[in-house]
Amino acid sequence: MNKAMFSFAIAAIAIVAIFLFDRKVPKETAMTMQQKLAFIPGDLDYSRTRTSVDKKYIISISSLIDPVPLNQIHQWELTIKTQQGDLVDAASVSITGGMPMHKHGLPTAPRMTQDLGQGRYLIEGMKFSMAGWWEIIIEVAQGFDKDKATFNLILR
Amino acid sequence: MVQQKLVLLLFSLFLTAFHKHALADQIWSTKQLHILEALWIGSLTDLGVDPSNKFSKDPIAVNLGHRIFFDKRFSGDGKVSCASCHQPLRAFTDGLPLAKGMGQSTRNTPTIIGTAYSPWFFWNGRADSQWSQALQPMEAPSEHGGARTGFAKVIYGDATYRSLYEKLFGVMPDISDKNKFPPKAAPTGAIQTRTAWEAMTTKNQKKVTGIFVNIGKAIASYEGLMIPGPSRFDNYVDSLLSGKIVTDDQILTAEEIAGLKIFIGKGACTQCHNGPLLTNNEFHNIGLPIADISEDEEGRTRGAPIVQESEFNCLGPHSDAKNNDCAELDFIKLRGISLLGSFKTPTLRNLNLTAPYMHNGQFATLNSVLNHYNQAPDAMIGKSDVLPLELTTKELDQLRYFLLSLNSYINVDPRYLLKP
């Protein structure tokens, strides 16, 4: 093989390499401080049914609009059971939450507006105004049996 | 000879490779495309009738509102109209740091374009509809400086206005008696104006306030027409979504595309500037420089209780909404450190026409805005919700180039941008 053919082969390999690598989306560089506020931990539990902190209740939540909308006020529904599986009626329910990385709360003041019976409750006034990681904290009280559960949510 | 051909072939292959490099740099991940689609003007859904203003899509209301918007008779000195500060050719802003009406205002004039989609109005969100927003400047001494009896009399005394008004709202009450209806009476403003108002009977006050509210509803119907059309950014996303390969400089330049990547990536700008209007219409403290710590700088902390108590809110007697149409007001957040010093996120469309920027017009140029975000100083009041962007000068330039690709015309018959 003469010198020219050898150079040609090397260059051809280089060109093929350029084609291959160019197909990939460039990787993001190191995170900026502002970008850290948008950070979403990789190990978050996104389950919509959770046992409360002191294991008094099993709470399920679901948005009445799916997927959960950004910048739109909407409603959620809760179902509350005891650990034994009994439905919890006539409980008082409060809703808080926010963005853990931003350390601010929800943009609205949602509240339970209807006890729908059969352990179900309507939550109105839910809104998420920023993309990223949100927490929804549901606190349930029935008599002295107070407990709460935290749910994770990602808005895109 | 063979060698020459090989060199030529090699050269053309390199050219192709580097051209492809330019294309590959534009390949967006599915997640990124999803974000771009959410920012695209095509994602803006059609807006129905405003539940609190049943006239909001009525062509007669639009016609009446259009006329009032440009009419300087709706002011204390006959020299100020809505269009004095909301100038259509400046994207409905005025180019000033602080608005100037009959006096010097303490706020920068925000645009009207796209605000029909907002649940809150004014920088601190102290109104919850376009019509109730329109009422406040008309009686503010530093803006129109007028009074509602005077405005009602302009409508009553002008044949065209009266005809349009009565077609919409029914027969006007007789307000010609100068003793019963003084020319300058309102529950707000100068002491003489308030004294004149207090001397009126409650029944007559209600008649005048009813006309005043209807003026606001007509203005809002006109303002609701101002919806942005597609910008170059939207055309770029349009092409991407239809599966076309878009080369550098075809729609957006390489620098603008680099800026867009920063906007949705390193800059994390879409946390607040999201949706097709590039705003979440919520309130954030971004640590802006302020001259002094006054009530005016409390932002949403001050605005939220005002709108909650306003007789002109969605749940008030002048609203056409049913109770369940007013969820934003019903579930308003009134307390929390995050409200203090927070102001409404502005749209990023038409930034070439809307300088100076921020609620007090703090920044004359987009460069100053970006430098602020790059340094993100601590808030002088409340707590800032932003951290330094840490971008290089080149990246800041790219971000600025991208932001200016969001300039878009107003998607309305041009005659509505001129005085009728």
Amino acid (one-letter) located at B207: K
Report whether pLDDT(A26) > 50. Answer: no
When comparing pLDDT for A20 and B46, which is higher? B46
Nearest CB partner across the interface for A131, out of B274, B330, B334: B274
Q: Measure the CA–CA gap between B51 and B328, rounded to whole angstroms.
A: 13
Q: Measure the CA–CA gap between A28 and B282, rounded to whole angstroms.
A: 29
Q: How high is the pLDDT of residue A144?
A: 86
Q: What sign does the dihedral B169-B133-B149-B75 (CA atoms) show?
A: negative
Q: Measure the CA–CA gap between B378 and A118, rounded to whole angstroms.
A: 49
Nearest by Cα to B348 from B338, B360, B357: B357
Cis peptide before A107 (omega within 30 of 0): no
User: Would the CB atoms of A35 and B265 count as touching at under 8 Å?
Assistant: yes
Would an 8 Å CB–CB cutoff place A8 in contact with chain B?
A: yes
Q: How high is the pLDDT of residue A12?
A: 66
Cis peptide before A67 (omega within 30 of 0): yes
Q: How high is the pLDDT of residue B137?
A: 98
Q: What share of chain B is helix, strand, coil (3-state, %, to 5)?
A: 45, 5, 50
Rounded to a whole number of angstroms, the distance from the CA of B265 to the nearest CA of chain A is 8
Mean pLDDT for the stretch of residues A81-109: 94
Residues above pLDDT 90, as percent of chain B? 90
Mean pLDDT for the stretch of residues B31-51: 95
Nearest CA in chain B to A26: B25
Q: How confident is the model at residue A8 (pLDDT cuts 50, 70, 90)?
A: low
* 3-class secondary-structure state, position B383: coil
Provide the chain A residues 97-116 that lie in CB contact (below 8 A) with chain B: 102, 104-111
For domain B29-44+229-299+340-417, give its CATH number from 1.10.760.10, 3.40.50.1820, 3.30.565.10, 1.10.1200.10. Answer: 1.10.760.10
Six-digit token string for A54: 């002191």
Report whether pLDDT(B39) > 70. Answer: yes
User: Would the CB atoms of B271 and A37 count as touching at under 8 Å?
Assistant: yes
Quick one: which H or E segment has residue B343? strand B343-344
Question: How do the domains of chain B map onto residue ranges?
Answer: 29-44+229-299+340-417, 59-223
Q: How high is the pLDDT of residue A41?
A: 87
Nearest CB partner across the interface for A38, out of B14, B271, B331: B271
Q: How confident is the model at residue B316 (pLDDT cuts 50, 70, 90)?
A: very high
Q: Which residues of A touch B18 (CB under 8 A)?
A: 18
- On the CB side of B32, CA atoms within 13 Å amount to 19
Report whether pLDDT(B93) > 80. Answer: yes
Q: How far is CA B340 from the centre of its chain?
A: 21
Nearest by Cα to B210 from B235, B181, B189: B181
Mean pLDDT taken over chain B: 93
Say yes or no: domain B59-223 is CATH 1.10.760.10: yes
Q: How far is CA B230 from CA A71, A126, B55, B234, B276, in A?
A: 21, 31, 27, 5, 10
Q: How high is the pLDDT of residue A11?
A: 64
Would an 8 Å CB–CB cutoff place B203 in contact with chain A?
A: no
Q: Which residues make Cβ contacts (< 8 Å) with residue B129, sequence separation at least 6?
A: B50, B52, B53, B121, B220, B312, B313, B314, B319
Would an 8 Å CB–CB cutoff place B28 in contact with chain A?
A: yes
When comparing pLDDT for A14 and B171, which is higher? B171
Q: Which residues of B touch A71 (CB under 8 A)?
A: 274-275, 280-282
Nearest CB partner across the interface for A105, out of B9, B336, B373: B336
Report whether pLDDT(B13) > 90. Answer: no
- Find which of A13, A114, A129, A133 to mutate to test the B interface (most B CBs within 10 Å of its CB): A129
Q: How high is the pLDDT of residue B24?
A: 41
Nearest CB partner across the interface for B387, out of A34, A129, A132: A34
Report whether pLDDT(A1) > 80. Answer: no
The answer to whether residues B138 and B144 touch, using CB atoms and an 8 Å cutoff, is yes
Would an 8 Å CB–CB cutoff place A129 in contact with chain B?
A: yes
Mean pLDDT for the stretch of residues B39-59: 97
Q: Which residues of A touch B3 (CB under 8 A)?
A: 4
Report whether pLDDT(A24) > 50. Answer: no
Q: For B242-291, how does the pLDDT look when each residue is reduced to its tens digit (9 = 90+)?
A: 988 777 778 999 999 999 999 999 999 999 999 999 999 999 999 999 98
User: Would the CB atoms of B328 and A26 count as touching at under 8 Å?
Assistant: no
Q: What share of chain A is helix, strand, coil (3-state, %, to 5)?
A: 15, 45, 40
Neighbours of B315 (CB within 10 A): 17
Report whether pLDDT(B8) > 80. Answer: no
Six-digit token string for B36: 């771009």
The answer to whether residues B127 and B120 touch, using CB atoms and an 8 Å cutoff, is yes
Residues above pLDDT 70, as percent of chain A? 81
When comparing pLDDT for A103 and B162, which is higher? B162
Q: How confident is the model at residue A35 (pLDDT cuts 50, 70, 90)?
A: confident
Would an 8 Å CB–CB cutoff place A118 in contact with chain B?
A: no
Nearest by Cα to B411 from B46, B82, B34: B46
Architecture of domain A41-155: Sandwich (2.60)
Q: Measure the CA–CA gap between B390 and B405, rounded to whole angstroms.
A: 23
Nearest by Cα to A68 from A117, A110, A104: A110
Rounded to a whole number of angstroms, the distance from the CA of A67 to the nearest CA of chain B is 14
Q: How high is the pLDDT of residue B304?
A: 98
Rounded to a whole number of angstroms, the distance from the CA of A153 to the nearest CA of chain B is 15
Q: For A43-88, how does the pLDDT look when each residue is reduced to its tens digit (9 = 90+)?
A: 899 999 999 999 999 999 999 999 999 999 999 999 999 999 999 9
User: Rounded to the nearest 5°, which phi and psi values hold at B33?
Assistant: -60, -35
Question: How do the domains of chain A map onto residue ranges?
Answer: 3-35, 41-155
* 3-class secondary-structure state, position B106: coil
Nearest CB partner across the interface for B338, out of A15, A73, A104: A104
Mean pLDDT for the stretch of residues B119-147: 98
Q: How high is the pLDDT of residue A25?
A: 46
Mean pLDDT for the stretch of residues B317-331: 96
Q: How confident is the model at residue B20 (pLDDT cuts 50, 70, 90)?
A: very low
User: Would the CB atoms of B282 and A130 count as touching at under 8 Å?
Assistant: yes
Would an 8 Å CB–CB cutoff place B22 in contact with chain A?
A: no
